[in-house]
Amino acid sequence: MTAVSPLAPTSYPTLPPIAGVHFASAEAGIKHAGRTDVLLATFDKGTTAAGVFTRSKCPSAPVDWCREALQSGKARALMVNAGNANAFTGKRGRETVKLSAAMVAEALGCRPKEVFLASTGVIGEPLDAAKFDRVVERLVAHQHDGPWIDAARAIMTTDTFPKVATRTAWIGDAAVAINGVAKGAGMIAPDMATMLSFIFTDAPIAAPVLQSLLSRGVTGSFNAITVDSDTSTSDTVLIFATGQVAGAKPITLTRDRRLAGFREALDDLLLDLAHQVVRDGEGARKFVEVRVERATSKRSAKRIALSIANSPLVKTALAGEDANWGRIVMAVGKAGEPADRDKLAIWFGDTRVAFHGERDPDYSEAVAAAYMKSQDIVITVDIGLGTGSDRVWTCDLTKEYVAINGDYRS
Amino acid sequence: MTAVSPLAPTSYPTLPPIAGVHFASAEAGIKHAGRTDVLLATFDKGTTAAGVFTRSKCPSAPVDWCREALQSGKARALMVNAGNANAFTGKRGRETVKLSAAMVAEALGCRPKEVFLASTGVIGEPLDAAKFDRVVERLVAHQHDGPWIDAARAIMTTDTFPKVATRTAWIGDAAVAINGVAKGAGMIAPDMATMLSFIFTDAPIAAPVLQSLLSRGVTGSFNAITVDSDTSTSDTVLIFATGQVAGAKPITLTRDRRLAGFREALDDLLLDLAHQVVRDGEGARKFVEVRVERATSKRSAKRIALSIANSPLVKTALAGEDANWGRIVMAVGKAGEPADRDKLAIWFGDTRVAFHGERDPDYSEAVAAAYMKSQDIVITVDIGLGTGSDRVWTCDLTKEYVAINGDYRS
């Protein structure tokens, strides 16, 4: 169960320092001893923030806190813990976030609402703020500019590998850096899963613009992945922009043309991190892209794609390396979106297996079967009714998923 | 994989003959040799019919056929095969149903549209009507009034036990019999799954009334079960009423008061059969009832209940006998229905584990853990917002489910 996912990247990029961002991690013993489980990142004055959160009707206490904290658009710190989600912890949970933010604020000399919090792990267990008390001072005293892989490791729970990504973008003549870390392996579905991701940049971007970039950016990345269709109470993506890059004037309008390159780089980084989350899907052996084309709308295409990606019968067939396109038909049919059986076409990779509502007469089971042994699989469905297309990513459903989740709490 | 489900009933009821219903089964070698795979039931003249079908946008050819055939409300025969669903088989699939119905009609001397058809098994493989040609004459020549268990066996696919149920109801002074058979083990979700069920009665009920009874009856039974959230292209429930019971005048109006007892008996029989389908859920070890109370509406309660019942994380926790109520909170939160975290209460059996948005202070992990070892589990969630309640039934998600479905086609 602790073996690294076979879909893990073979190497990790080295992330550059981000001017104005510092961090440290510590062992607070929140759930297990002997592992780092708290990350404290601090930001120089002038840092802006934006965030996107779970759509769960039962969000965690830190999610509630961050939503409020974002109203000012200013950030001085981010504290993340693994091992306990501080979700469904009632009044005590609210006390814990308040106390934790106050501790960090006092140590840094900022306002509590400039401290962002995220927690991941077990739901329903009270999280004792005293655990942070023991480590906050030391964390503040030992802030570094790297290595970033340590930050990614500190937020892991059932993850089998740390998730990092970096991009460079030009804002006018200034090269800005964007670093990101993420965690997540199960309870992964739009929108968004026990999935935390934190993005840091030295770009000078006002909070409302940052919010717009992030909200759009997650649509095709973190909101287009599913491991098991289960959505967490704690999903959080936060972006922090220190504005410390030299030579770029602040961007205060979404329509600023200098944003084009940054937007592209950010979207690419978000997709990279989202794919890493799927590649660490609990028990995953296959990384699967589901493309739906020519649906009646992009929204309809995404719903059909998610119906396929979330189907246990499709996912178990993928685990069994079975080119079982009948189950794709089933999943298209159950999506509830416009579809005409007799216009459907389905591909596994480049092999068209079904066409015009029946098995493709030229389809070779041997070729399809060979393709299904690949680690990365692309399923394409042509609905044949319109011009809406979209893509989502998922993994297969294996016995290991059941094993990992059948005994998670103990 | 072929072992009988541990949740199977320990004995089967003996079903009485139904006046006007005769049947026989045969080995047509549709997929496997050496097992009965075709059932032909025939009905005396005057038999009425009603049906409910999958809501899949990609229904099978037999489903299309039955929908048309139902327009007259008259039935003389029902032919069911296992091993091939005749779904996503295009024009050839439509030819097959036409030819099959014509064969039976010719042998019986009725119209083809009085012959109902249902197929279950692999999707996308052409079904050769010639396979029926070899057995239809013999089937017609050897019609019996029982034993009904043979009819249930003939329609099994991955089922590990035959599913039968019987009830008696009074219509005025006449005792009418209702017999039912069902099949289904995977791809089971509202509405309705690769699930076939056929109900037979000697009650004298006009087709429109029968349709009303059946449509309402499936809501709380076949449309309230889920094994894996996957909905088949072939789901079919048909009811046939011969009207041959002595001493009861025909019922032609839904508001006929004589229907009360029949409705109750039919609903009870449908629920019995639906539960048997869940008890044969692929890989199932636990039979789980999910009750949602005090939601804002009955519809909302059902959606929340299905969100819980379909959650892979809830289902794997059940398999692991883990009283993981945090995952129940997660599933309530992701349902998208009105919910207030701080008003939720959750029970496993009689043990209240969560109350007012946090862990119940009096909750004993030991008591809850002991309860989770039961074969039949009841999960109750009080939303605390309204008066809407509903129930659904499901099973756990085990490694055996993955094993069964990872290699189904071969």
Q: Domain segments of chain B: what residues?
A: 21-279, 287-405
Q: Is B410 annotated as a binding residue?
A: yes
User: What are the counts of helices (DSSP H) followed by strands (DSSP E) for chain A?
Assistant: 11, 16
Distance CA B389, CA B175 (A): 33
Nearest Cα to Cα of residue A167 among A262, A42, A278: A262
| Predicted confidence (pLDDT) per residue in B133-183, tens digit | 999 999 999 999 999 999 999 998 878 899 999 999 999 999 999 999 999
Mean pLDDT of A173-189: 84
Residue B407 has pLDDT above 70, yes or no: no
- Interchain pair A406, B322: CB under 8 A: yes
Distance CA A163, CA A146 (A): 15
Residue B192 has pLDDT above 50, yes or no: no
Q: What is the pLDDT of residue B408?
A: 47
Would you call B361 an interface residue with chain A, using a CB distance cutoff of 8 Å? Answer: no
Residue B229 has pLDDT above 50, yes or no: yes
- Rounded (10°) CA dihedral B260, B263, B268, B274: -160
> In angstroms, what separates the C-alpha of A33 from chain B's closest C-alpha?
22
Residues 125-184 of A with CB under 8 A from B: 125-126
Q: What is the pLDDT of residue B194?
A: 66
Contacts of A312 in chain B (CB under 8 A): 228-230, 312, 397, 401, 405
Distance CA B81, CA B380 (A): 39
pLDDT confidence band for A187 (50 / 70 / 90): low
- CATH-assigned architecture of domain B287-405: Roll (3.10)
Pairs of residues, one from chain A and one from chain B, whose beta carbons lie less than 8 Å apart: 228
CA B87, B89, B94, B100 torsion-angle sign: negative
Helices (H), B118-223: 130-141, 148-154, 207-219
Percent of residues, chain B, with pLDDT higher than 70: 96
Q: Is B81 annotated as a binding residue?
A: no
Mean pLDDT of all residues belonging to chain B: 91
DSSP B249-308: PPB--TT-TTHHHHHHHHHHHHHHHHHHHHHT-TT---EEEEEEEEESSHHHHHHHHHHH
Distance CA B313, CA B318 (A): 9
pLDDT confidence band for A407 (50 / 70 / 90): low
> In angstroms, what separates the C-alpha of A100 from chain B's closest C-alpha?
19
Task: Supply angle C-alpha B270, B273, B278, rounded to 5.
Answer: 125
Q: What is the pLDDT of residue A260?
A: 95
> In angstroms, what separates the C-alpha of B188 from chain A's closest C-alpha?
10
Residue A168 has pLDDT above 90, yes or no: yes
The kind and range of the H/E element at A327 are helix A325-334
Q: Is A405 annotated as a binding residue?
A: yes
Whether B194 is catalytic:
yes
Instruction: Compute CA distances B404 → A211, B1, B233, B281, B409, whole Å.
Output: 46, 7, 20, 11, 10
Q: What is the pLDDT of residue B187?
A: 62
Mean pLDDT of A83-97: 91
User: What are the counts of helices (DSSP H) followed by strands (DSSP E) for chain B?
Assistant: 11, 16
For residue A53, give both structure tokens.
């959160």
Q: What is the pLDDT of residue B2?
A: 60
For residue B24, give both structure tokens.
């026989």
Residue of A48, A54, A160, A194 marked catalytic: A194
pLDDT confidence band for A193 (50 / 70 / 90): very low
- Interchain pair A322, B408: CB under 8 A: yes
Parallel, antiparallel, or unpaired: how do β-strands A77-84 and A115-122 relate? parallel
Would you call B255 an interface residue with chain A, using a CB distance cutoff of 8 Å? Answer: no
DSSP A150-213: HHHHHT-SS-SS-EEEEEEEEETTEEEEEEEEEE-SSS--TT--S-EEEEEE---B-HHHHHHH
> Comparing B353 with A188, which gets the higher pLDDT?
B353
Mean pLDDT of A395-405: 86
Q: Is B45 annotated as a binding residue?
A: no
- Interchain pair A335, B57: CB under 8 A: yes
Contacts of A126 in chain B (CB under 8 A): 358-359
Distance CA A98, CA B375 (A): 43
Contacts of B89 in chain A (CB under 8 A): 358-359
Mean pLDDT of A60-79: 96
pLDDT confidence band for A31 (50 / 70 / 90): confident
Q: What is the pLDDT of residue A368?
A: 93
| Predicted confidence (pLDDT) per residue in B292-323, tens digit | 999 999 999 999 999 999 998 899 999 999 99
Sheet-wide strand order for A351-355 = A225-226, A388-395, A287-295, A376-382, A345-348, A351-355, A358-359
pLDDT confidence band for A271 (50 / 70 / 90): very high
What is the CATH topology of the domain spanning A21-279? L-amino peptidase D-ALA esterase/amidase (3.60.70)
> In angstroms, what separates the C-alpha of B68 from chain A's closest C-alpha?
18
Contacts of B409 in chain A (CB under 8 A): 322, 324
Residue A188 has pLDDT above 60, yes or no: no
Distance CA A126, CA A118 (A): 15
Task: Supply angle C-alpha A18, A21, A25, rounded to 5.
Answer: 115
**Residue B340 neighbours by CB distance under 10 Å:** 12
Nearest Cα to Cα of residue B313 among B340, B331, B297: B331
pLDDT confidence band for A194 (50 / 70 / 90): low
Q: What is the pLDDT of residue A54?
A: 86
Instruction: Compute CA distances A233 → A57, A121, A194, A355, whole Å.
Output: 8, 10, 7, 41
Percent of residues, chain A, with pLDDT higher than 70: 96
Three-class DSSP category at B364: coil
Nearest Cα to Cα of residue A79 among A34, A29, A140, A149: A140
Residue B383 has pLDDT above 70, yes or no: yes
Q: What is the pLDDT of residue A393?
A: 93
Q: What is the pLDDT of residue B283?
A: 87
For residue B201, give both structure tokens.
């009665």
pLDDT confidence band for A191 (50 / 70 / 90): very low
Would you call A327 an interface residue with chain B, using a CB distance cutoff of 8 Å? Answer: yes
Would you call A1 an interface residue with chain B, using a CB distance cutoff of 8 Å? Answer: no
Residue of B158, B166, B194, B394 marked catalytic: B194
Which segment of A20-24, A229-233, B80-84, B351-355 scores lowest on mean pLDDT? Answer: A229-233
Which segment of A344-353, A356-365, B225-234, B343-352 scores lowest on mean pLDDT? Answer: B225-234
Distance CA A264, CA A217 (A): 9
Parallel, antiparallel, or unpaired: how do β-strands A236-241 and B287-295 relate? unpaired
- Asked if the ipTM is above 0.90, the reply is no
Mean pLDDT of A299-314: 93
Say if residues A293 and A352 touch (Cβ distance below 8 Å). Answer: no
